[in-house]
Amino acid sequence: MASPSPKSPEQSEKNKQYDRQLRLWGDHGQAALENGHICLINATALGTEILKSIVLPGVGAITIVDHNIVAEEDIGSNFFLDCSSKGLNRGTETLRLLLELNPAVQGHAVQEPTEQILQENPDFFKSFSIVVATSLGEKIIQDLAQHLWDINVPFILCRSVGFLGSFRIQIKEHAIIETHPENEQIGLRLDVPFPALAQYLDTFDIDTLDLKDHGQIPWIVILYKAVQKWQLSNQNRWPMSRKEKNEIKEIIQEFIRKDENGIPIEEENFEEALRAVNTALVPTFLPVKIQELLYCSSATNLTKDSLPFWIMCSALRNFIEAEGKSKLPLRGVLPDMTSSTEHYVKLQSMYRTQAVMEAEIVYRKVQEIVAQLHCESISETEVKLFCRHSHDLHLIKGSNIAMEYQLGSNSVASYIARYLEEPDVMMVHYILLRAAEIFRSEHCRAPGEWEPEADIAKLKTCVSRLLTDISCSPFPKDDHIHEMCRYGGAEIHSVSAFLGGCIAQEAIKIVTKQYNPVNNTFIYDGASTNTATFTF
Amino acid sequence: MVARVAGVFDEKLTEAIANSKILVVGAGGIGCEILKNLVLTGFPYIEIIDLDTIDVSNLNRQFLFHKEHVGKSKAQVAKDSALSFNPSVNIIAHHDSVISNDYGVNYFKQFNMVMNALDNRVARNHVNRMCLAANIPLIETGTAGYAGQVELIQKGQTQCYECQPKAPQKSFPGCTIRNTPSEPIHCIVWAKHLFNQLFGEEDPDQDVSPDTADPEAAGDAGASALRTEGTEAGNVERKSTRAWASETNYDPEKLFSKLFGDDIRYLLSMENLWKKRRPPTPLTWNNLPGKGNPTAQHSGLPDQRVWSMHECAQVFGDSCKALQADLKNRPEGDHLVWDKDEKSAMDFVTACANIRAHIFNIPLKSRFEIKSMAGNIIPAIATANAIVAGLAVLRAQNLLKGETRACTSVYLRPKVNHRGQLFVPEKTLTAPNPKCYVCASKPEVALACNLKQLTLKDLNAAFKDGLNMQAPDAVVEGKGLVVLSSEPGETDHNNEKTLEEIGLNDGSALVVDDFLQNYEVRVILQQKDEEKSWRLVTDPDIPMPGPKEEKPANGSNGADEPKPGPSCSKEDSDSDMEIIEEDDTGEPAPKPPKRRKVGMNNEIVDLC
Ligand SMILES: [Zn+2]
């Protein structure tokens, strides 16, 4: 039967709509995003901007928790609200307008206060991929953070007040398989070629090939041959130093054919081999960081509830100790090179076959573990992806916001104090944002919202209390406190738009489990246009 | 709300905003965000220009547009959407190219600042010059995936967009494209040229037939012999490819036989080309590999699978027919514009590129990969656009407050760097390059070329492609002799004359100006015997752009491709991180400036 012609290979309407982002995080990233469910507490301008940038790329679902009624200032700062929304529930209205951006996204609005949900129905939060909160007071932040820490749901605490803004990511443990490193090791195993590769490399004799074929030798082969030649006079060592690598380059130069006048003939593949000497001759090794990961207690003491990541780490460790002979699985990706299709395809399939074989071994080990533990199965695709990126796995171990807020009792206080001594003005902003939260908790409004002048003293008390807790002397000047009261809790749209983009971007990194998110705090000061990150 | 903000902003800023007029160029991902931010910050008067119409692939980030807007003017829909949220703002939308006589220096002068949200260099260069000429600040923005940047361009205080020559781009000689491709991209470029030859704007510099002038093939008796035989292929050389295709009624089999059979056999006859290379293998329509094979198993999406030759030929046939039908439905003389998001156009290029790759023993690529390479697709997401647009409007506020010094360039990184920075700012404003051939007080640049070979036509191309001019006029310094005029026809009779023939020699200086850009530069000619084409020299240490030929890279409608230059030329990849292009927002297709006369051809391709 004749093969059907590839019918309209491009794609569903959905893929067309998402084309530009699929090229960033791939189909599996998109699938992860579409399985994601983001909960927003308080549909402020900042909260709405965050959701907007998550709804557009097609998150699975959003839930807005907000018991507030749309007020005049919401209409001014929140792009999606207009006068017709006035007096209605802010979450419901915002949700309705946000969903117009992308009909594929599911949405829910909950009109109860967060405090009430936390008390009456704490399991409510269990189903979310991330909970994002804006404009909360200190007390509820601590309770919510502790609860989300306990049930292991990532939490992003966000603030936008006047020209100041920040976000704090609380995530117990976040494993990233696809970190997208800037310089990926090529990992060709030229120093320890697998049998099929060794056999293939040995079939070449650079000196006897005719010119046409000489120009088609893949640079991998050229490099290998050069090292072999070098090893004859170097006790079969592997070239490591710059000097030794230069010697390899000289050997490659000698390989290049000369014309009748003794002038070297330009051959692109040999040029490529020369360029590859520095990067492709890195010996195969197990990075310390990965070794630590594979031998940490989460990977060695598996339980039924262990995450797939740890089960795969454990299987990988078993592989390395046995079949892998201290090596990570082959990535199986062949870089582009000048060569005949024949050679290229052959090499490519060789690397691919070997990579598949090694990944299959790891997969079998994963299956064994899964069977032993009676836990949920892990797909072969997942294991393959894990193996392909095993050189760059990354683990973030986060910290609890509730702990950060109990100053004086832990290392956070000295961490903050150290920055305040510098003096680091961005840490001053952190103190002010925290003080404003205490203010909100105690007075149920933002500092300066009603009485800018009268609130200065009250806010100053909050600042002093914080500074005492971390054993720091009071600020020499009050201008930051005045500024905060002048803001009156108002959001500047561009600040919220900017921060909203930042927070949505980090949320997507977390949901897709690609790229390392900020660990764990980001602060922005629009007045000085400075930014900073801190790790509490 | 405005009252609340009045409390937050100081009086000076509130007043400056109330009296401001802002021009936003581009209504794509960043442009939509900027517009929204301006409206909600209380900016009372905004003009927005964008030539583009809305495509489905915009909807993942350009939030002012919804599905029902596909095909409509971006500028207009953006305006309407924004107004529905704040009807009191005065927004004026122009569905137009910013490169137009309608937007001259005086037009720019009425604004307090310009905010660029563009996706291509040609328009960026142009707006840069207009803002320099009008002496108003320009906030330049761009994103690529998770990365982005915002910078201020202010005459005399900062670098301009053209102070640092953009990294010379990877170049593909025309003969590589036409005769001896060795990489997939060569075949993709060829396939895009073929599209233009058959259905698009015919351009003699995008010839797809064998290049008999290839220096490597010199002295090939075989080739000349074959040519005099007057084969069908030989005839086609002298006829336009389109005319011939049209005569055959775009019969896929006939087209296939010529392009992938006869032309390849012709190349084989140029024996010198294949001394060191593996010769290509011509294909026959009825005997293609992969026929009868079941479709190979592949786990990914259908367009991520590499097609067999048989499948390629079928797609070739189907897409040819579809494109022909599309062309037929258009008014006489109209043509198609290649668009990576248009199914048949993309199918055609995928099939042709892969068939040619197969012939030349080059690895094949999937449609998904070819789309990236042919369309120079830069990933674009809502989040990075929001970040960059937020920063841009905050910068605009700084500027209005007179805090120019605070407006240093800032770069958004895909992840926190080793110094703990997610945003990397410049510490100070980046000073202008005193040797910049655009913003220096007396701009000057040297042009290295062989005066005995370079024609005036080439010189015109050098000014357009190398100096990014739209309509150059050139006068010999001190003599007043007009060598090039932007008036149609005025100097055309000299087109084929060499520079030497019109009396220019080593060291001659030309005063070249572009009326529209209000830009004048002194060009000193340097005789270089070995120079095959031309090369700009400002600082001997800095590589400068040479002629362009090729740019698979372009916006959604292909119209921002620079005009091709001389035969051996270059590839514009546009992916250097220095200027981040926001994908397909936009300002493609520079419209030919009307200049002083009315009545000249000012037709513009309708891109809808
Ligand atoms: Zn400049």
B232 and B292 in contact (C-beta within 8 Å)?
A: no
- B455: domain range? 434-541
Residue A39 forms beta bridges with which residues? Answer: A63, A131
For residues B1 and B186, give the distance between their C-alpha atoms in angstroms, rounded to a whole number.
57
B178 and B208 in contact (C-beta within 8 Å)?
A: yes
Backbone angles phi, psi at A311, to 5 degrees: -65, -40
Are A354 and A374 in the same domain?
yes
Are A77 and A134 in the same domain?
yes
Is A2 within the bounds of a domain?
no
Is B485 within the bounds of a domain?
yes
Q: How far is the centre of ligand 1, averaged over its atoms, from the C-alpha of B161 (Å)?
A: 6
Sheet holding A521-525, edge to edge: A106-110, A61-65, A37-41, A130-134, A155-161, A164-170, A521-525, A530-534
Q: What is the per-residue pLDDT for B607?
A: 26
- Residues of chain A with Cβ-Cβ distance to B71 below 8 Å are none
Chain segment A233-263, per-residue pLDDT in tens: 999 999 999 999 999 999 999 999 888 888 8
CA dist B575 → A472, A503, B119 (Å) = 49, 26, 11
- Residues of chain B with Cβ-Cβ distance to A533 below 8 Å are 416, 420-422
A422 and A428 in contact (C-beta within 8 Å)?
A: no
B179 and B556 in contact (C-beta within 8 Å)?
A: no
Q: What is the per-residue pLDDT for B295?
A: 55
Are A55 and A71 in the same domain?
yes
Are A129 and A268 in the same domain?
no
User: Region A127-136: what's the mean pLDDT?
Assistant: 97
Backbone angles phi, psi at A223, to 5 degrees: -60, -45
| Cβ neighbours for A178, distance < 8 A, ≥ 6 positions apart | A29, A385, A389, A392, A513, A514, A515
Are A501 and A524 in the same domain?
yes
Total residues found in chain B within this entry: 608
Q: Which of A8, A10, A49, A524 to mutate to test the interface with B (most CBs of B within 10 A)?
A: A10
How many domains does chain A divide into?
4
Taking an 8 Å cut-off on Cβ atoms, the answer to whether B383 and A488 are in contact is no
Is A182 within the bounds of a domain?
no
Are B210 and B344 in the same domain?
yes
- Residues of chain A with Cβ-Cβ distance to B187 below 8 Å are none
Q: Point out the residue among B40, B278, B295 whose CB comes nearest to the CB of A3.
A: B295
Indicate which residues of B carry an active-site annotation: 175
Write a three-state SS string for B422-472. CEEECCCCCCCCCCCCCCCCCCEEEEEECCCCCEHHHHHHHHHHHCCCCCE
Residue A203 pLDDT class (50, 70, 90 cuts): very high
Q: How does strand B147-153 pair with strand A173-176?
A: unpaired
pTM of the model: 0.85
Is B370 within the bounds of a domain?
no
For residues A450 and A437, give the distance between their C-alpha atoms in angstroms, rounded to a whole number.
16
Chain segment A31-65, per-residue pLDDT in tens: 999 999 999 999 999 999 999 999 999 999 999 99
A439 and A462 in contact (C-beta within 8 Å)?
A: yes
Q: How does strand A164-170 pair with strand A155-161?
A: antiparallel
Is A497 within the bounds of a domain?
yes
Are A345 and A445 in the same domain?
no
Taking an 8 Å cut-off on Cβ atoms, the answer to whether A497 and B307 are in contact is no
Taking an 8 Å cut-off on Cβ atoms, the answer to whether A533 and B416 are in contact is yes
Q: How far is the centre of ligand 1, averaged over its atoms, from the C-alpha of A88 (Å)?
A: 53
Q: What is the per-residue pLDDT for A114?
A: 97
For residues B437 and B433, give the distance between their C-alpha atoms in angstroms, rounded to a whole number.
9
Closest by CA position to B21, among listed B319, B342, B396, B380: B396
Q: Which of A1, A56, A426 to mutate to test the interface with B (most CBs of B within 10 A)?
A: A56
Are B144 and B203 in the same domain?
no
Q: Is B70 on the interface with A (CB under 8 A)?
A: no
Is A189 within the bounds of a domain?
no
Q: Point out the residue among A23, A57, A82 whose CB comes nearest to the CB of B372.
A: A23
B491 and B485 in contact (C-beta within 8 Å)?
A: yes
Is A107 within the bounds of a domain?
yes
Is A127 within the bounds of a domain?
yes
For residues B435 and A170, give the distance between their C-alpha atoms in angstroms, rounded to a whole number.
50
Residue of B nearest to A497 (CA): B390
Are B130 and B84 in the same domain?
yes
Is B591 within the bounds of a domain?
no
Packing angle between helix A341-373 and helix A380-388, nearest 10 degrees?
120
| Residue B12 CB-half CA count within 13 A | 7
Are A87 and A50 in the same domain?
yes
| Cβ neighbours for A284, distance < 8 A, ≥ 6 positions apart | A187, A189, A191, A192, A327
Q: What is the per-residue pLDDT for B545?
A: 58
Report the gap between the CA of A526 and the closest CA in chain B (Å): 7
Tokens of A333: 């990706």
Residue B287: is it exposed, middle or buried by C-beta count within 10 angstroms (0-12/13-18/19+)?
exposed
Q: What is the identity of the amino acid at A393?
A: L
Taking an 8 Å cut-off on Cβ atoms, the answer to whether B363 and A495 are in contact is no
Tokens of A114: 């967060």
- A98: domain range? 13-175+492-534
CA-CA-CA-CA torsion sign (B581, B586, B591, B593): negative
Residue of B nearest to A49 (CA): B386
- Residues of chain A with Cβ-Cβ distance to B2 below 8 Å are 76
Are A111 and A163 in the same domain?
yes
Chain segment B534-572, per-residue pLDDT in tens: 888 876 555 565 655 443 333 333 223 222 222 222 232
Are A416 and A504 in the same domain?
no
For residues B593 and B100, give the distance between their C-alpha atoms in angstroms, rounded to a whole number.
5
Q: What is the per-residue pLDDT for A35?
A: 97
Taking an 8 Å cut-off on Cβ atoms, the answer to whether A9 and B1 are in contact is no
Q: Is B416 on the interface with A (CB under 8 A)?
A: yes
Complex prediction ipTM:
0.91
Taking an 8 Å cut-off on Cβ atoms, the answer to whether A212 and B394 are in contact is no
Judged by phi (left if over 0) then psi (alpha if -120 to 50, else beta), residue A205 lies in: beta
Are A163 and A31 in the same domain?
yes
Query: Poorest-confidence range of A253-267, A389-403, A507-521?
Result: A253-267
Are B271 and B340 in the same domain?
yes
Helix, strand counts (H, E) of chain A: 22, 10
Are B207 and B354 in the same domain?
yes
Domain end residue (candidates: B522, B541, B560): B541
Chain segment B232-281, per-residue pLDDT in tens: 443 334 467 888 888 888 999 999 999 999 999 999 998 888 877 788 99
Domain end residue (candidates: B541, B561, B593): B541
A438 and A466 in contact (C-beta within 8 Å)?
A: yes
Judged by phi (left if over 0) then psi (alpha if -120 to 50, else beta), residue A312 lies in: alpha
CA dist B233 → A6, A295, B260, B321 (Å) = 30, 68, 11, 22
Are A115 and A89 in the same domain?
yes
Report the gap between the CA of A302 and the closest CA in chain B (Å): 31
Taking an 8 Å cut-off on Cβ atoms, the answer to whether A18 and B60 are in contact is yes
As a whole-number percent, the residues of chain B with pLDDT over 90 amount to 50
Is A4 within the bounds of a domain?
no
Are B206 and B295 in the same domain?
yes
Are B16 and B55 in the same domain?
yes
Q: Is B554 annotated as a binding residue?
A: no
Q: How far is the centre of ligand 1, averaged over its atoms, from the C-alpha of B165 (Å)?
A: 9
Instruction: Express the helix, strand and coil content of chain B in percent, nearest 5 each.
Output: 35, 15, 50
CATH number at residue B257: 1.10.10.520
Q: What is the per-residue pLDDT for B27?
A: 96
CATH number at residue A24: 3.40.50.720
CA dist A530 → A497, B415, B526 (Å) = 16, 17, 48
For residues A511 and A499, give the distance between their C-alpha atoms in angstroms, rounded to a whole number.
18
Q: What is the identity of the amino acid at B202?
A: E
How many domains does chain B divide into?
3
Packing angle between helix A380-388 and helix A308-321, nearest 10 degrees?
60
Is A108 within the bounds of a domain?
yes
Q: Residue A453 above 50 pLDDT? A: yes
Closest by CA position to B128, among listed B118, B38, B292, A343: B118
- Residues of chain A with Cβ-Cβ distance to B63 below 8 Å are 52, 56, 101
List, for chain B, all residue ranges whose pLDDT scores fall below the cut of 70.
Answer: 1-7, 167-171, 217-239, 292-302, 539-608
Are B229 and B294 in the same domain?
yes
Q: Is B276 on the interface with A (CB under 8 A)?
A: yes
Are A162 and A302 in the same domain?
no
Chain segment A67-80, per-residue pLDDT in tens: 999 998 888 888 88
